[in-house]
A = this chain, B = another copy of it.
Amino acid sequence: MGNDTADQLLDSAERLVIERGFNAFSYRDLAAEVGIRTASIHYHFPAKGDLGAALMRRYTDRLDAALARLEGRTTSEAARLTGFVDLYRATGDRGAICLCGSLASDLATLPDALRPAVSAYLERSITWIESAVRRGRAAGEFHGVFDARALAESLVAGLQGALLVARAQSSTEVLDHVEAIVLRQL
């Protein structure tokens, strides 16, 4: 488990989608990386849409695990939100963007089954942040006036855009700026 062909294919595909976009990598690229033939890939993922769906499923599961880990910690809500930002920082430090952000920019070309998964990933991030902000306010840790949902959407949008800008400018400092400016309004 974790290292069979299907997982290797997902690992390669994830990197290729993030680097090039869903429509700019092929089963051929994948085959070359993993060391099998293109026809063999179809055994694991009959159509490219199936591969994309598996990719988003795994990516969403990883998000859920990361958020659960943050919630398991005994700590302040501010530390949890910083932990959320760190997930994006790890992505930016690799020179990468979010898989979900990459797919969102190709949204119209995605197989029908894949599009809702992209929206769901963003929604899950937003509602988690919103809850953290509400808990922090209820506990007297935060005293901001902005709507919690508005703050959550702004943080996700800011971080998604920051990854895009960071890659184009070859500098991740924009992530720190977004973090400082949004989290200041808690």
**Contact check: which of B24, B122, B159 meets A168 at CB < 8 Å?**
B122
B109 touches A21 (CB 8 A): yes
Q: How many copies does the complex hold?
A: 2
Say whether B150 contacts A108, CB under 8 Å: no
Do A181 and B182 have beta carbons less than 8 Å apart? yes
- A interface residues, Cβ below 8 angstroms from B: 19-21, 23-24, 97, 101-102, 104-109, 118-119, 122-123, 146-147, 150-151, 153-154, 156-162, 164-165, 167-169, 173-174, 176-178, 180-182, 184-185
Return the 4 tightest CB-CB contacts between A and B, nearest first: A161-B161, A157-B161, A160-B161, A150-B177
Extra A-B contacts (15), CB below 8 Å, given A122-B165, A160-B165: A21-B21, A21-B24, A97-B105, A102-B105, A105-B164, A146-B180, A146-B181, A147-B177, A150-B176, A151-B177, A153-B174, A158-B158, A158-B178, A159-B161, A160-B164
